[in-house]
Amino acid sequence: MKSARWIVATLWWLTPATALAQGRGYDWWWEGHPMGMMWGAWGIGMGLMMLVFWGLVIAAIVVGIRWLVGQGKQPRSDSALDILRQRYARGEINKEEFDAKKRDLS
């Protein structure tokens, strides 16, 4: 147990000593960092790329959900042509009228 206390005490003493041995004080803030918190062009570019990436991820999720929801629906048929076919089937219009109106609708 004494050796564990000795190791902790040694590390406790060496940590500040190592920082002082560098010839400058230990910087707790980013001012001393050469990248300066990445506020340069690289930082802005990487921030924009992150926004583009997450925008694409969200758009892909939305498109995927809309595609999955649309899978169960039947395609809409042309209701005007359906009505025309029903009228022809009931005998309300003849073949010439049916063909003329079908050409008009197409």
Query: Per-domain residue ranges for the chain?
Result: 78-106
How far is CA 79 from each of CA 28, 85, 95, rounded to the nearest angstrom? 72, 10, 19
The answer, yes or no, to whether residue 60 has pLDDT greater than 80, is yes
CB 80 within 8 A of CB 105: yes
CA distances from 23 to 17, 27, 31, 33 (A): 11, 12, 17, 15
Q: Return phi, psi of residue 41, to 5°.
A: -65, -35
Q: What does the mean pLDDT of the chain come to?
A: 76
Q: What is the pLDDT of residue 105?
A: 82
Confidence of residue 80 (pLDDT cuts 50, 70, 90): confident
Q: Residue 1: its pLDDT value, please?
A: 57
| Statement: residue 64 has pLDDT above 70 | yes
For 3-105, strand residue ranges (E) read: none
Kindly tell me if the per-residue pLDDT of 12 is higher than 90: no
